[in-house]
Structure formats: C-alpha cells, structure tokens
Amino acid sequence: MAKTAISYGRQTIDLSDIEAVARSLEGMLTQGPLVEAFEAEIAGYTGAKYAVVCSNGTAALHLAMKAAGLGEGQKAVTSPITFLASANAALYAGARPDFADIEADGMNLDPESLRRKAAKDRAVKAVVPVHFAGTPCRMEEIREVALKYGLIVIEDACHALGAEWTDSSGRVRRVGSCSHSDMTIFSFHPVKSITTGEGGAITTNDPALYGKLKTLRSHGVVKDPARLSKSEGPWYYEMQDLGFNYRLPDINCALGISQLKKLDRFIAKRAGIAALYDRLFSKYQFVRPPSVPGGMRSAWHLYPARIPFSELGVERKDLFRLMSEIGIGLQVHYIPVHTQPYYKAMGFKPGDFPRALRFYAEEVSLPIYPLLSDEEAGAVAEGLLSSLACLSAQAKRTVAV
Ligand SMILES: *Cc1c(COP(=O)(O)O)cnc(C)c1O
C-alpha cells in the first residue's frame, strides 16, 4: 500500500519558530519569563483577563474541573461528539461525566438537550461545550441554561482558538474571552490551531479561579507571603491543596509565542481550503459540507463532511482504503464517547444520543491545514468524488447480480 502523504492535519513550523525555540534553550528552560509572556499573549489575543498555560489540553480540562470545585456526587455534561478528554476530565476530578445530544442541524452540543438533562438531574453542576471543528457553540443559550440551573461553564476550545461568533446584540465575541463562560480551555497539540509540541491553556476573567489554577498547576504549593498562614523564613512554602505538575516549559512557550503571531494567517489559509472544498462539492449532493452559521468565524480545525454511506451502499472503510492508496489520509471525528467500552460499562447505551450516532455514521474529516496547497486540496476532493462514484457503482452492480 502506498504511503499516506496527506494527513487530516499537521503543524506549520517555519524558521522563525525554530530560531525562537533555539534562543529559549539559552534561558531557564522551564518556568522562566516566557511562561508569563505567553500567558499575556493568550490573554491579549482572546480578550480574557487571565491565561494559565499548562502541559496539555487534557491537563487544562482537569485543572479547570478542580478549580471549579467539581467533585463527588456531581456531574459534568459534554457532547458525545468530542475527544475522550472532554468527558474524562470529570472522572479525574472525582465527578461523573454525562452527555447531551448534538444539535439537529449542527455538530455541537444542543442547548435544548442540555436544558432537559439539567432540569431532570440536579447532580449536573457543569457543562463542557465543545466548539467542534472550530465552529462556536450557541453560547448565549448554553449560558442561559447554566444560569438557570447553576452550572459552571467550561468551554472546550481545543478546536477553536481564533474562532469568533456574533451575539444577539450584534457584538462580535472571540472564543476564549469567557464572555459566556467561567473558563475556556485550549490545546496546542501539533494538529491544533497553533502548536507548542504538547501544551494547553485556560483563560478566565475570575481572579479566584485564576489563583486556584496557578496553584493547582504546580503541586498546590503557595509561596506568595500574602497567602501563607505563617512564615518560617525565606525557604518557606505551604501545600494548601492537592495539585499536580502540569507546568509548561519555557521552551514550549517560546514556540507558542512565535506561533500565535501567525494564527490569523493560519486560520485564513484553513478558511480558504474549506471554501475550495465547499465549491468543489457544491454539485454533488452525496457529499454534504459542514455549514457554519452566519456571524461566526470558524477556526476550521477540521473539515467534517457528511456522506450518507448507507444510502449509497458504500462502506466507509472501503473509502478510507481507496484514498489511502492514493496517498490521502482521512479521519473520523469522533467515535461517540458514550459508546466506548469504558463508558458502556458506566451504563451508557449507544442509542442514548441518536443524533450523535447518526453523525458518527456519516462523518469523514478531510485534510485541512495551512500548508495544504490548493492543488492538494483539489486532489483530495477529486479522489473522494471518484472513489465514491466507483464504490457506489460497484455496490449497485452487486445488488443487480
Ligand atoms: C485535542 C483535544 C483535547 C485534548 O488536548 P491534548 O492537548 O491532546 O491533551 C481535548 N478536547 C478536544 C476537543 C480536543 O480536540
């Protein structure tokens, strides 16, 4: 089988990134000035008052759950169409994950399903809306439900650094500003909007949460004299909570600062590829492009096309095989979390969230990243259309025979 040359996502690293990292190696390596410098850049970009960087997006979710005080006997609701970590974080904090189905006409957590869940189950204390593929959730409606039922809102914006939406008064909101949430978390894994190798961040406007996040990130240790119960000398510190080592080194922060400067260009490139795919698929009704509601700027982390495989009589794995033979890697985002064996053992049934199941059955993520050329994107679209035509013709012949 031919080597897959085009994958669904990858990083964009240039000489300025390499030089920034090289320079950082002459500094403190970890917990030097670049940590706060990167945090200031993230806060500045998103418009939040505070940013705390940490070792990855999963750690960011864990820290956010702990800082929010979520724990035993409480539940955090997220979308079944997400990466495992959005749900697992509740378990790390000693709470229970739960789910609400996705929108009938979209890919994100449905505010109405969330409302029904929160009304029925008073253990629900947090919601983790995931801006799937980089398209913002309906945050005003989610915030309304959260206020009514007293839920903490932790946005999982691992796909959505740089995304924006317009509120009902016409004001443009940037994801991460926490205008409608308590905290927003990000990942800087290589496939995300920008990368630090591994890395993550939490933004918030709440000074108390900010203080907790910083303490929990580093063993729950406090050194600030104003927060100590006493002082025994210059060496003195206190462990006031059970924290972790979730710190992000200076080396990674150097890369993050350099990458963030290019974020808007990266997103413009991704949006250009999405527009090209949209155009190339517009004549074919069996490939349904993702739709982004008006007033929103998607970060275009993914290009999740929907293909009605069962109607076409085509097996998705056959499409993956044909595309891989011409060097194109596809992906599926995501296997609904509640159908994983671990979650099934917790009592979830596949049919609990039927829209998520249907979405999973039809979803295919096409390659999208800033370095993907228009020619390559054209080859992806052409390969996809011809593979589908070939497979569905085969299926018809098989039925005829
Ligand atoms: C990538 C991702 C995470 C986890 O981030 P890591 O940095 O890989 O730990 C969490 N949620 C979503 C939706 C993601 O895409």
Final residue belonging to a domain, choices 209, 240, 260: 260
Query: Which residues, listed in sequence order, are joined to residue 200 by a DSSP beta bridge?
Result: 54, 187
| Cβ neighbours, 10 Å, residue 127 | 29
pLDDT digits (tens, 9 = 90+) for 316-333: 999 999 999 999 999 999
- Encoding tokens for residue 262? 């290019």
Does any ligand 1 atom lie closer than 6 A to the CB of residue 58? yes
CA distances from 342 to 91, 96, 338, 345, 358 (A): 12, 13, 8, 5, 21
Atom of ligand 1 nearest to the CA of 56: 7
211 occurs within a structural domain: yes
Q: Are residues 202 and 346 in the same domain?
A: no
Distance, in Å, from the CA atom of 401 to the CA atom of 399, rounded to the nearest integer, reads 5
Q: Are residues 342 and 235 in the same domain?
A: no
What's the pLDDT score for residue 398?
A: 76
Q: Are residues 290 and 166 in the same domain?
A: no
2 occurs within a structural domain: no
Final residue belonging to a domain, choices 206, 240, 260: 260
Long-range contacts of range 340-343, CB-CB < 8 Å, 24 or more positions apart? 340/84, 343/87, 343/97
Final residue belonging to a domain, choices 260, 292, 311: 260
pLDDT digits (tens, 9 = 90+) for 269-287: 999 999 999 999 999 999 9
Q: Are residues 256 and 268 in the same domain?
A: no
Q: Are residues 231 and 351 in the same domain?
A: no
3 occurs within a structural domain: no
Report DSSP letters for 213-233, one per residue: HHHHHBTTEE--GGG-S---S
Report DSSP letters for 130-173, one per residue: B-GGGPPP-HHHHHHHHHHHT-EEEEE-TT-TT-EEE-TTS-EE
Does any ligand 1 atom lie closer than 6 A to the CB of residue 177? no
Closest CA to 248 of 186, 201, 189, 193: 201
Q: Are residues 152 and 23 in the same domain?
A: yes
> Which mutation among 86, 131, 300, 365 tests ligand 1's pocket best, with the greatest number of atoms within 8 A of CB?
86
Confidence of residue 1 (pLDDT cuts 50, 70, 90): very low
Q: What is the pTM of this model?
A: 0.97
Q: Are residues 251 and 273 in the same domain?
A: no
Indicate the average pLDDT of the chain: 96
6 occurs within a structural domain: no
Q: Are residues 87 and 206 in the same domain?
A: yes
Radius of gyration of the chain measured on its C-alpha atoms: 22
* Domain span at 286: 263-400
Type of residue found at 201: A
4 occurs within a structural domain: no
Residue of the nearest CA to atom 3 in ligand 1? 57
Number of domains in the chain: 2
Does any ligand 1 atom lie closer than 6 A to the CB of residue 254? no
What's the pLDDT score for residue 397?
A: 82
What's the pLDDT score for residue 3?
A: 52
- What whole-number percentage of the chain has pLDDT above 90? 96
208 occurs within a structural domain: yes
8 occurs within a structural domain: no
CA distances from 16 to 165, 259, 266 (A): 31, 9, 15
Averaged pLDDT, 366-381: 97
Q: Are residues 247 and 296 in the same domain?
A: no
| Domain at 293, CATH number | 3.90.1150.10
- Encoding tokens for residue 95? 């709470």
Distance, in Å, from the CA atom of 144 to the CA atom of 154, rounded to the nearest integer, reads 14
Contact 52, 63 (CB under 8 A): yes
Distance, in Å, from the CA atom of 274 to the CA atom of 366, rounded to the nearest integer, reads 10
Q: Are residues 229 and 183 in the same domain?
A: yes
Q: Are residues 222 and 289 in the same domain?
A: no
| Domain at 209, CATH number | 3.40.640.10
Q: Are residues 345 and 204 in the same domain?
A: no
289 occurs within a structural domain: yes
pLDDT digits (tens, 9 = 90+) for 173-186: 999 999 999 999 99
> Which mutation among 61, 187, 248 tests ligand 1's pocket best, with the greatest number of atoms within 8 A of CB?
187
Å from CA of 258 to ligand 1 middle: 21
